[in-house]
Amino acid sequence: MRIGVDGSKIPHEADDSAIRILERAHGIGMEGVYFRSVLDVSPTLDRGFLTEVRECAESLDLYLQMGLAKVNPYAASEAPHVRRLGDGDYTRGMVKMIEAAHEAAGVTDLWVACANYQRGLPGYYVFDRFRTDAPWADQLVAIEKFLRLLAPVARDHGVHLNIETHEEITSYEIVRLIEAVGDDVLGVTFDTANVVVRGEDPVAAARRVAPYTRATHLRDFVLGEQDGVFGRVFAPIGQGSLDWDAILGILHAENPDLPLSIENAGPTLHLPIGLDDPEWIAKHPDLDPQEVARIREMAAEYAERVERGEAQSLDVVRATPYDGAHFIDVSATALRDALSRIGATV
Determine the pLDDT at residue 12.
84
The shares of helix, strand and coil residues in the chain, as percent rounded to the nearest 5, are 50, 15, 35
pLDDT tens digits in sequence order for the chain, 346 residues long: 999 999 988 888 888 999 999 999 999 999 999 999 999 999 999 999 999 999 999 999 999 999 999 999 999 999 999 999 999 999 999 999 999 999 999 999 999 999 988 888 888 999 999 999 999 999 999 999 999 999 999 999 999 999 999 999 999 999 999 999 999 999 999 999 999 999 999 999 999 999 999 999 999 999 999 888 999 999 999 999 999 999 999 999 999 999 999 999 877 778 999 999 999 999 999 999 999 999 999 999 999 999 999 999 888 988 888 899 999 999 999 999 999 999 997 5
Phi-psi region of 29 (alpha: psi -120 to 50; beta: other; left: phi over 0): left
Determine the pLDDT at residue 8.
87
Pairwise CA distance, residues 272 & 294, whole Å? 17
Spatial contact of 182 and 212, defined as CB atoms under 8 Å apart? no
Where are the chain's structural domains?
A: 3-341
Spatial contact of 159 and 187, defined as CB atoms under 8 Å apart? no
Determine the pLDDT at residue 319.
87
Phi, psi of 139 (to 5 degrees): -65, -40
Spatial contact of 244 and 207, defined as CB atoms under 8 Å apart? no
DSSP state of 257: T
Pairwise CA distance, residues 16 & 123, whole Å? 36
Q: Report how far apart the first and last C-alpha atoms of the chain are (Å, whole number).
A: 6
Residue 91 makes CB contacts below 8 A (sequence gap 6+) with 146, 149, 150
What is the three-class DSSP state of 63? strand
pTM of the model: 0.96
What is the three-class DSSP state of 192? coil
Listing from the earlier edge strand, what are the strands of the sheet with 220-226?
A: 220-226, 229-235, 271-272
What is the three-class DSSP state of 163? strand
Determine the pLDDT at residue 346.
55
Pairwise CA distance, residues 221 & 249, whole Å? 19
Tens digits of residue pLDDT in 14-29: 889 999 999 999 999 9
Q: At what angle do helices 136-157 and 171-181 cross, to 10 degrees?
A: 50
Determine the pLDDT at residue 213.
98
Spatial contact of 36 and 97, defined as CB atoms under 8 Å apart? no
Half-sphere exposure of 114 (CA within 13 A, CB side): 29
Pairwise CA distance, residues 69 & 116, whole Å? 10
Determine the pLDDT at residue 331.
97
Pick the CATH number of 3-341 from 3.20.20.150, 3.40.50.300, 3.40.250.10, 3.20.10.10: 3.20.20.150
What is the three-class DSSP state of 157? helix
Q: What is the CA 248 to chain-centroid distance, rounded?
A: 15
Largest CA distance in the chain: 59
